[in-house]
Amino acid sequence: MLEQSEATEKSLLIVDDDAPLRNRLARAMEQRGFTVVTAASVAEGLEVSGTAPPAYAIVDLRLEDGNGLEVIEALRAARGDVRVVMLTGYGNIATAVVAIKAGAVDFLAKPVDADQVTAALLETERPLPPPPDDPMSADRVRWEHIQRVFEQCNRNVSETARRLKMHRRTLQRILNKHAPRT
């Protein structure tokens, strides 16, 4: 019976629609002692959270069939002590705040390695994660913010420019450029 409870305490759900990343992360987390179950969609994540809620979860923000926040909310409802780390390729402060309010213990921008994820899942002593070794530049943060507002305005350039209080042509020039390096 003790072995079963130990296995459930190290149970981990990984929800990500990027199959190579999901599989690589699953192997790495198994090597760190976790019992891993993977899901490729919100629907699969909700099914797992309803049938066998894990002690830990790694959830991607944007999935093909919806938003990873739905999975976090279902996990928190099924198991109040679950520790969830949200992953995203679209990291910005507003999304991180929403993820934390939904119940995530940390919010990590892709690409991420298994050591970072493990530290975020298991860290209980520090209220804040350690500072990143390579933080985003101010130009990158600005670009991410503009992209987020653009998406929230349904990719409407005029509405986005109005909300950001900038000229529409200036915004168009920014949107046509590639993202700045980190």
pLDDT tens for each residue of 115-165: 888 888 887 666 666 666 777 778 877 887 888 888 889 889 999 999 999
C-alpha pair distances (Å), 118 with each of 29, 108, 123: 8, 12, 8
- 7-17, pLDDT tens digit by residue? 448 899 999 88
Nearby residues of 35 by Cβ (< 8 Å), 6 or more positions away:
7, 8, 10, 11, 12
Residues of the chain with CATH 1.10.10.60: 138-176
* Percent of the chain with pLDDT strictly greater than 70: 86
**Cβ neighbours, 10 Å, residue 149:** 17
3-state secondary structure at position 164: helix
Is the domain covering 138-176 a CATH 1.10.10.60 domain? Answer: yes
Residues of the chain with CATH 3.40.50.2300: 2-122
pTM: 0.66
Assigned token pair, 175? 């949107």
pLDDT of residue 128: 60
* Percent of the chain with pLDDT strictly greater than 90: 22
> Whose CA is closest to 99, among 132, 60, 127?
60
Is the domain covering 2-122 a CATH 1.10.10.410 domain? Answer: no
